[in-house]
Structure formats: C-alpha cells, structure tokens
Amino acid sequence: MPIPGKLLTTAMAVMPHTDIDRALETALTMDIPYWPQLPRLNYYEDMYVQAAEHFPGILLDMENRTLRFSMDKFMAELEEVMANFDDPELFDISTTYSAVYHRFLALDFSDRPAIRGQLEGPISFGFNVIDENDRPILFDDTVRPFMFEFMARRVNVQLARLKAKNENAFMYVDEPGLQFLFSAMSGYGDVQAKADLELFFSMIDRPRGIHLCGNPDWDFLLNQDMDILSLDVYTNGEVFSSYAPAVKRFLDRGGILSWGIVPTNFEPYEKESIETLEKLLESAWQRLCKKGIDREQLLSQSLLSPATCCLVNPDIEKTVEKGFATVKRLSEHLREKYGMG
C-alpha cells in the first residue's frame, strides 16, 4: 500500500505563516510532510491562484487580491496553451507562484514513509472563479471540460516531481466546493459532478484522493475512485460515522482515511485536550465498528491530521503549531495503545 496508515500524521497545506522557514519546519514535524501554501505571505501563494497559473482567460489582480475570468481572453489564449499541452512546465508551479514548493523539492525525503502534494480541485476552482457576467466558469460547457483536463495534468506533473523524491508520494485534490454540490442553488448537479469527477480521476495518476473540511454527501464521495479521503472528523464525525456501508466499501478497496481531529482555531483548541480528542475520535471509530467494520483494518488504513486549516487566529501561527504538536502526541499515544508501531 503506497499510502501508509497506522495512525501516522499529515496535515492540510494552507498555513497562516509568513516565514517560509518556520512553515516548512512545522510541515516537516508530520510523519508525512507536504509543501505549505502561505496566502498571507503573498497572493500568489493562495490555493486558487496557484491552480490558475497558465490557465487561459485568467485575470489576476495582485493589488486587490482578485482572481477572475474573461471568455474573450480565454479564446485568445487557448490556441497557444494547447500548442504547449505536452510540456510539463506549463502545468508545474513556478517559483513565482510558490517559493515553498521549490524549497520543499530540494529536501531529502528518502527516510520518510511518504510525502504529499496538493492542488485546488476543478469543482472548487470552477465554482470560485467567475466570468465577466459573475457566473462561475464551472457552469460553462466550453470551459468546464478543458478545465478538468488542465487540472488533471497539473496533478500528474506535480505527483511525478514528488515521486522522484519519495516513491510513496501522493496527492490531495482540495475540494471545499463539494459540500455545495447538492444545494439547489449550485446550478451544477450531482449527476454532472459524478460524471466529471469520474472522468477527472480517470485522467490522474495514483495515489490520489480528496481533502475537504465540509460536510458533503459522503456516499457520493466515498464511492469515487480514489485512494485517500481527508476529512474534518472533529466537526463531522457523527455524520460521517453514520455512513458505515460506504466507509466499509472504501476501506475494502484499500482506501485510506485521514481523520482531521485536532482543531487549529484558537477557541476550540483551548477547550480540548489529548484525552477529549481521543474520546471523540474513538467514539467515531466505535460507531463504525459496531456496524461491521473491522477495527484493525480501520486503524491500519488511517492517518491523523489537524481538523482544518486556519488563517484567522489572533495569535496567527502559534495555535496552528500547537495543534500540529498535539496531532503528533495523539498519534504516538494511540499507536502505542493499539500496537501500531
């Protein structure tokens, strides 16, 4: 199994740091490190902006921190982009769009069980980027198929670079927008989304999976052809554990669950302890095991992580760093308790 489990640790990429060294140092405390995304450092480091590099039609305003789309510009730039569609550099992240990514790739990860990268997913990107008529580009039948293929190539190029550093590298597709899919307001329904996501996953290399902090239709998500699902179990644990049949199918296919259990927002973090978080996590596991999921299988195919990213704490990065340290301590405690050494 290329993605390790056994309650090892990883984390989501968006961090509040403005010091690259400190952010990287914090990411490296996880068993499975990743390259951080630092939108407070500059707007290029925003996850949507990074995904937009070289995408035709993009209007990027660094001063006002806005990312929009022009159909006229898309049509004008599409031919040149298509002419370079087999060039990996078109789909990689440049030093301008992430200083951290290139610093990360220069490190030695030969002793790590795995490393991880990430890219904003096409559904969330398509919801977030709007055209001159204030309409999300996801709704445009011309742009949408191109966008899915473009983002698939971005995932593959990044994964290839990461695998050169560690053969167990894998990718998160960050999809916060999936929780809005089933809203009547979305204008983009689950049937279309299912077809688009199946096509997207068929175009990207393994191992790959989805990370999101929201509460989507878990049946829909767990049935996607992916290798790992990262979720906020601190907030959504009770709901998620009610989907035992879908969780069991996912695990039986070899899927890994990354349990986001430690809050990094200041107020909830201050209320919790190792003991309360252990109890919360184990109650979610117990609900699943009571419905027929084998505990040993569940734990051997699980990772632990912070519950969510957080950019808004009054102490900026301090609580986030404390949260990471708590994830590590909780992992060490549970690995010893369940004999996962």
When pLDDT is cut at 50, 70 and 90, the band that residue 186 belongs to is low
What integer pLDDT is reported at residue 262 of this predicted model?
97
* Sign of CA pseudo-dihedral 66, 42, 117, 265: negative
Query: In whole angstroms, how far apart are CA 133 and each of 57, 129, 215?
Result: 14, 11, 29
The token duo for 259 is 């349990």
Average pLDDT of the residues in 312-319: 94
Q: Which of 25-39, 148-162, 169-183 has the lowest mean pLDDT?
A: 169-183
Helix (H, G, I), strand (E, B) or coil at 225: coil
What integer pLDDT is reported at residue 183 of this predicted model?
60
Model pLDDT for residues 31-50, shown as the tens digit of each residue? 999 999 999 999 999 999 99
What integer pLDDT is reported at residue 77 of this predicted model?
98
Model pLDDT for residues 192-233, shown as the tens digit of each residue? 888 899 999 999 999 999 999 888 889 988 999 999 999 999
When pLDDT is cut at 50, 70 and 90, the band that residue 185 belongs to is low
The token duo for 226 is 């992916």
What integer pLDDT is reported at residue 257 of this predicted model?
98
Contact 122, 151 (CB under 8 A): yes
What integer pLDDT is reported at residue 190 of this predicted model?
73
What integer pLDDT is reported at residue 214 of this predicted model?
85
- How many CB atoms lie under 10 A from the CB of residue 146? 18
* Sign of CA pseudo-dihedral 34, 39, 44, 46: positive
For 233-314, where are the E strands, in sequence order? 256-262, 302-306
Using the structure block, give the residue that is written with the tokens 């767990």: 222
Query: Which residue type sits at 147?
Result: M
* In the predicted structure, residue 72 carries a pLDDT above the cut 80: yes
Model pLDDT for residues 224-241, shown as the tens digit of each residue? 999 999 999 999 988 999
Average pLDDT of the residues in 126-154: 95
**Residue ranges covered by each domain of the chain:** 8-337
The token duo for 230 is 């990262």
Average pLDDT of the residues in 71-94: 97
Average pLDDT of the residues in 62-71: 97
Q: Average pLDDT, whole number, for the chain?
A: 94
What integer pLDDT is reported at residue 48 of this predicted model?
97
Average pLDDT of the residues in 247-270: 96
**Cα 284 from Cα 180, distance rounded (Å):** 24
The token duo for 250 is 């996912």
* In the predicted structure, residue 161 carries a pLDDT above the cut 70: yes
**Cα 259 from Cα 241, distance rounded (Å):** 12
Overall CATH class of domain 8-337: alpha beta
**Percent above pLDDT 70 for the chain:** 98
Q: How many CA atoms are closer than 13 Å to the CA of 163, on its beta-carbon side? A: 15
* In the predicted structure, residue 290 carries a pLDDT above the cut 90: yes
What integer pLDDT is reported at residue 97 of this predicted model?
97
* Burial of 122 from C-beta contacts in 10 A (0-12 / 13-18 / 19+): buried
* In the predicted structure, residue 55 carries a pLDDT above the cut 70: yes
The token duo for 176 is 């916060």
When pLDDT is cut at 50, 70 and 90, the band that residue 335 belongs to is very high
Query: In whole angstroms, how far apart are CA 174 and each of 70, 78, 249, 275, 339?
Result: 24, 25, 22, 30, 32
* In the predicted structure, residue 298 carries a pLDDT above the cut 70: yes
**Cα 124 from Cα 141, distance rounded (Å):** 16
* In the predicted structure, residue 282 carries a pLDDT above the cut 60: yes
